[in-house]
Amino acid sequence: MVERVEYDELGLFHENAEEYGLPYDGPPVVRRVRVEVAPGRHLSALVWKDDEPALVLLHGGAQNAHTWDTVALALDRPLVAVDLPGHGHSDGPAQAPAGRLGVEQDAADVALVVRQLAPAAHAMVGMSLGGLTAIALAARAPELVRKLVLVDVVPGITGDRARHITAFLDRPSSFASLDELLELTARFNPTRSLSSLRRGILHNAEQQEDGTWTWRWARHRRPAENLSPPGGPDHLYAGLWKSLTSITVPVVLVRGMREDSVLGDDDEEALLRRVPTAHVVHVADAGHSVQGDTPLELAAIIRDVALGEKG
């Protein structure tokens, strides 16, 4: 008989609060919603609080909306965290042209979600793939993005800098047990607590009927031949520079400074050369996943640069 692992999606926030010393006087007001983006296709999102959302948060590739949980708890503001197409509880992406990832199409889908759930948000925060999607969205629907915060990503990063991430993802997508998946994830994230990694896995993977585990994003994984993005494999999404330079709203880059960031000084210089008004914030103790490595510091940065709240 298969032993099932209990999972209450909205019942783990107390763990986030306890791990980071945040006040917790009961479950936050969070609900999951679905937005139809095409006939029979829906994107899913977590809506925090009942007031008009002040922020839209877009996660990175192979992540999901729960990657922002600790940041959202620390911010204590109404916001929307979206599951990108093919991630979390969202349906798969629309078919992308051969040889390309569908960032532009994903941005069109996300725009529909933002227009319905958070049309007056003060800022959009996007990490990695979410940041690239946010750039494409801001160029496509500028009325929905009033400030753009990019978390450890700019267009045109070199594939070599992201190789440690793709190597982690380029593995079999099925695992015999939760413990096997946890062991693999812990080797990739040695600075994280096992409790936080287990929580992340429960949000980002699902147990199958036979007891095995599969990443949620792997359900919609495109064939390998479709994983070469615009600009070629060595300069990821370089074509989005044109979109970024067309944006007239304030742009902020939050850059992780550990060696597991995907950005180098040349990437930061490339941003400032093209967008001289961009504001750059360095986070010394964070790698690529700033929201996972230093969520409280990222929340403070978002309060400052995105919401204009000092202290």
182-198, pLDDT tens digit by residue? 999 999 999 999 999 99
pTM of the model: 0.94
Residue 120 belongs to a domain: yes
Q: Judge whether 288 counts as a catalytic residue.
A: yes
**91 within some domain:** yes
Give the other-Cβ count within 10 Å of 234's Cβ: 11
Pairwise CA distance, residues 171 & 173, whole Å? 6
Tell the burial category of 291 from Cβ atoms under 10 Å away from its Cβ (0-12, 13-18, 19+).
buried
Annotated catalytic residue, options 89, 122, 288, 289: 288
Residue 197 forms part of a structural domain: no
Rounded-to-integer distance, Cα 50 and Cα 166, Å: 37
Q: Given 128, 243, 261, 289, which residue is catalytic?
A: 128
Active-site residue 128, yes or no?
yes
Structural domain contains residue 187: no
Q: Whole domain around residue 95: which residue ranges?
A: 13-161+217-306
The CATH code of the domain that includes 266 is 3.40.50.1820
Residues 290-311 have pLDDT tens digits of 999 999 999 999 999 999 997 6
Query: Which of these ranges, 54-68, 138-152, 214-228, 278-292, has the smallest mean pLDDT?
Result: 214-228
- Assign 93 a pLDDT band (cuts: 50, 70, 90): confident
Query: Over the chain, what is the mean pLDDT?
Result: 91
Residue 282 bears catalytic tag: no
- Would you say residue 201 lies in a domain? no
The answer to whether residue 270 is domain-embedded is yes
How many domains in the chain?
A: 1
Can you tell me the mean pLDDT for 130-142? 97
Which listed residue (152, 261, 289, 293) is catalytic?
152
